[in-house]
Structure 1
Amino acid sequence: MRGRCSRKLGVLAKAGVLLWVLWLGYILLAGSPFPSSSTVEEDEEGRNVRAKQRSLDEAAADGQLARPLYSKPAPDSNAMGEWGRATHLNLSPEEKKLEQDSVERYAINIYVSDKISLHRHIQDHRMNECRSKKFDYRRLPTTSVIIAFYNEAWSTLLRTIHSVLETTPATLLKEIILIDDYSDRVYLKSQLAQHISEVNRVRLIRTKKREGLVRARLIGATYATGDVLTFLDCHCECVPGWIEPLLERIAENASTIVCPVIDTIDWNTFEFYMQTDEPMIGGFDWRLTFQWHSVPEVERKRRKSRIDPIRSPTMAGGLFAVSKAYFEYLGTYDMGMEVWGGENLELSFRVWMCGGSLEIHPCSHVGHVFPKKAPYARPNFLQNTVRAAEVWMDSYKQHFYNRNPPAKKVRQLQMKPTQVFKQCV
């Protein structure tokens, strides 16, 4: 009897051990890192769903980061100048006289400009590759946009400011710095100050005497807090997507000065002419006058795609972006340059001869009103070009003097030729 009980207990014990082993095996399989094929399929599907969601989230985040500080009002196709169209007016003799007076005063048809919205839309006819290009906004540097002006017309100045605010992503725009270079027009006093006080991220600085473009811009640069200094003239309109290519290129190479493609805004009708063909590059003649030239074949072959930046010997000078640190390393502008003219070639020579580069980015477009004539005199233009020749052209400066005999009379400089060079070696 006792033997049979012992055998039964042994069987039960073995059965219990077997059940325990099976249960333990189940637990181990359930927690195993080697799931069944159905589980693999479910996890793969889950990963795809999660990846897609992350992609959507990132796209949404990029969309948020790309938003400008202010949005333009809805377009009005019937409004004058909308989408960059030309404006033609049927004027009475009295109105025609007012129009002519505005042209005489500003060298721009301000009578027409005043009829056009400060927030007008511009058609984006850039290359498809430019419009579809994606940017990592988290990695782009910030910028301070510096705009110097002297007795600028109200509508062109304000349209420039609002164009920057409405086309530059808020996450990239540190501030707009306006430098009033001792203007004496009444509307540029309290009226402008009041308007600026109602707009975010715009700062107005007034000089205590006439400084000229070069020194006025340098005053603005000293107040800038952005990583990149972006200089614009005071009668511009920016095409959406204008700033990202400039900042991306500087993020890639901080020793590069990058210029946008300068589109033409007609001084009389304010029609916006966008360059859709290959941009031109800057050059100069032996009188040190800036000129535009076609891109040489060697540069075409060097570039891998048509949206790659284009190397340019010189720049027009009114519109460009540069790392603030690199600008200071170069020695900034030559402080001996008066008013404007010649400083663009001097800085162009300097950046190339100090190991940097100068480029035009085909995906960045900014419209510029080219006045009918120079709005004010440039009595020091010849002196400025002589400074550039003496400092940077070495033996080649003789070609400059041969082509420009009056320059010999202003040959004596206040600065030794090596002073600027030593700042960038």
Structure 2
Amino acid sequence: MAPVDNADVLIIGGGLWGCAIAWYLSKSFPGRILILERNSVGFGASSRAAGLLTLARNQKYYLDLVRETHHAIMDLEAQLEEDLGAHQTGSFYLASSAQSKQSLQELVSFVTKHGVDVDWISQQEAQERVPLLQLEATEDLLIASMPEDKIIDPYILTGAYAKGAKLQGVKIRRAVAVERILTENNRVVGVATNQGKFSAPIVVNAGGVWSGKLMMELGIGLPMAPVRSQYWITEPSTKVLANQPFLIMPDAKAYARPEVGGLLFGLRESESIVVDPRILPENTDDLGIKADPEGWDTLLTEFDALGHLMPGLETMGIAHYIRGFCGYTLDGKPILGEVSGIDGLILATGCSGGGLGSSGGIGRVISDVILKNPNAWDLSPYRYDRLGKVDHYSPELQQRCGKARSGKTSG
């Protein structure tokens, strides 16, 4: 079969990571770069991210990834001569339990050591900045303020990476679903799609929740599964200030930020909904979910702790419910780097709910891998096989990935 098209580097997936990789790579790579996207740019999980850009990371590699994203936004704005709408609202981290207080103190100690600005603030100051918060003096909360943190619309950021990449010569083909990664003699040669064959000596699998299925065709299991993420947006309210800090509340298993006059808030359900990757449709909106399809069960069972901190939230109407499926790994770490035994095949997947914040860093890291540049990041802890051989289709693995998502305490 003659190829429909060819490229020097082919990127599967036009989401945040795929477009960021293309943008970074095209700054210095002389060859032809092609992105294949099954829907439209940023259509999947990327556009449904909560939009939190926080430097509150307890691992140096992730802190550096997020810092790179902050730099990327500034560089994109200069290149495109556009304001991407990144708002430096800052953030408040609220801890009430002894365990959460200890974790927050350790987090603050770590990030301040690495140059992040942090202030300890009183409950009164937190309430003045976030009017919906109603904190009882007897609660003895520990509250850290991180003024450098930002929020940004994920769809705008994905589009900016794509636009910047196109200005640098990257081609993007939409409505092209990759069905198989093609190999010959232990090296990648391209991909088979619903539109025919595309040839390339380097393929980056940044296909999000579909990436694991593509690897299973090669006999390689990834330790990740498609897990539902969800959030709600209230109707506009005078109780929500446009410039108020976003909130991370681990004891309430919740986060919240201002959005179009209302409050965007997310809750971690105790039992995350996981789907078998073999039944994922082209558009995950078409995926029928029998258990809690509109998130009402989560609100009923998980809202009380958040409602205690923000009692006025209970009377605010819900304007929008947003859900998406994100690739969560067993250990919460991304899957990055080259694949042993298949030259030219590179993985960039398993974002585990941190795809937006890490996007700039991932773009730079994978670009360095392709260019054979000395890499500032040791990718060995993020290899696809770090947890041994796994069956991507195993129900047990899928449920364990769901539990990893339910146990997450950051935004």
Class of the TM-score when normalised by the shorter of the 2 chains? under 0.3
The answer to which structure, 1 or 2, has the higher relative contact order (CA under 8 A, 6+ apart) is: 2
Q: TM-score, normalising length from structure 1? A: 0.27
Structure 2-normalised TM-score?
A: 0.27
- Structure with greater strand share of residues: 2
Higher helix fraction: Structure 1 or Structure 2?
A: 1
